[in-house]
Amino acid sequence: MLLAALALLIAGCGKSPVSTSSSQSSTTGGGGSGQPSTLLGSSGAGGIATASTTRLGGSSAALDAAAVARAVYPGFTPTTRPRAVVIAPESDWPAALAASALAAAPLRAPILYAQGSGLAPASAAALKAMRPSGSPALGGAQVIAVGVSAPAGYRALTLRGATPYALAAGIARLVGLLHGGRTDAAIIAGAAAPAALSMPAAGLAAESGAPILFVSSRGMPAATRAALVRLGRPATYAVGPESAIGTAAISSLQGLGEVTRIGATGPVENAIKVAAYTNGHFGWGVQEPGHGIVFARSSRPLDAPAAALLSSTGEYAPMVLLTGAEGVPGELARYLRDIQPGYGHTPESLPVRGVYNRGWLIGDQQAISLTTQSKLDSLLRSIPRSSATSQPSLVP
């Protein structure tokens, strides 16, 4: 019923209809058959780890996405296989960002990247290893192809759109149908905004289940307006400062209901703002110890959708940003110190009774150096409370 409703909605709006294919591959790994394979080296789930940090990924977004997917879904038991996997184009940032919402419950689908007309090698290996079981809510679909062709041998659901606004609206339509037709919130990003300022939207969508829709510098496109009306005019949260989402777009959104901007001028401050924000049940509100944190480079925007699954599983970690491979920006160091766990020496405050922070680093040493990883580890680990105000500066 969901597939029929989605196909009808997309066809009625002049978009490409959802297509499904029930063909199954007889080769190992295709269509969910065969034995699980493993990803080796930088394409696997492993990486350099410290007491409070784990590194996932490699030199490209495809490697990073494959590593995150395998960390969450090793695929060796029925309970560690995803129901469906999202395939997004590595060449289309808005499409990949909008697809992040499918990493949210109830699907919790990992995102893998396509390169050109096919899957990146790491993506193909990860898909084969995870062996998606198929989502009953999607008619048994194992793959959701967003703006790309689905790989052969898997039951697929394909979403397409002529513009970033239309494609995001199609994804939002699917998200809405998975939640009974409406959503309480929607996330707004600027289609032409600097990508680094929109990166936090990926994790926020995965954590909240809110779809991501786009506005332009001139206001709200018709596809976005229609999607918000169809979703029941939910509260909207614009991620990014005015340079990313202008006043014209905010004014257009206000005509449909409540609008809240979450943002700050620079990418580092902007990501912190999103991580700390909360409004009732929406947002993380990470303002105290006891959380996971995802660290990524602001110059690698595709790492945000790649890591979105870490925001909807495990420690439900928001993403914060580094501007270079070396060093921790001052604003980020201050934020991490504010939420750094501490312990005392009384029985009720010993470390074994405390809370802990954990960091996920996305990418290889060219993205985030080993020295920076060590500094982040020091800012995340639990320390004696008497030392909390006497930490040495970790900013070079």
Listed by start position, the domains of the chain span 48-61+160-387
Q: What is the 3-state secondary structure (H, E, C) of 172-200?
A: HHHHHHHCCCCCCEEEEEECCCCHHHHCH
Q: Is the pLDDT of residue 54 over 80?
A: yes
Confidence of residue 100 (pLDDT cuts 50, 70, 90): very high
Q: Which strands, in side-by-side order, build the sheet including 358-362?
A: 53-56, 358-362, 292-297, 319-322
SS3 state at 87: strand
SS3 state at 378: helix
- Counting beta carbons within 10 angstroms of the beta carbon of residue 311, is it exposed (0 to 12), middle (13 to 18) or buried (19 or more)? buried
Encoding tokens for residue 281?
Answer: 């049940």
pLDDT of residue 388: 46
Where is pLDDT greater, at 372 or 26?
372
- Counting beta carbons within 10 angstroms of the beta carbon of residue 373, is it exposed (0 to 12), middle (13 to 18) or buried (19 or more)? buried
pLDDT of residue 112: 98
Q: Give per-residue pLDDT as tens, 347-359.
A: 666 677 678 999 9
pTM, two decimals, is: 0.87
| Over residues 386-393, mean pLDDT | 48
| Over residues 275-304, mean pLDDT | 96
| Over residues 221-233, mean pLDDT | 96
Q: Give per-residue pLDDT as tens, 120-159.
A: 999 999 999 999 999 999 999 999 999 999 999 999 999 9
pLDDT of residue 40: 37
H or E element: which one contains 237? strand 235-239
- C-alpha 345 chain-centroid distance: 39
Q: Which of 158, 188, 167, 216 is nearest to 17 (CA)?
A: 158
pLDDT of residue 43: 43
| Over residues 166-183, mean pLDDT | 94
Within 10 angstroms of residue 346's Cβ, the number of other Cβ atoms is 8
Of 8-17, 49-58, 216-225, where does mean pLDDT reach its minimum? Answer: 8-17
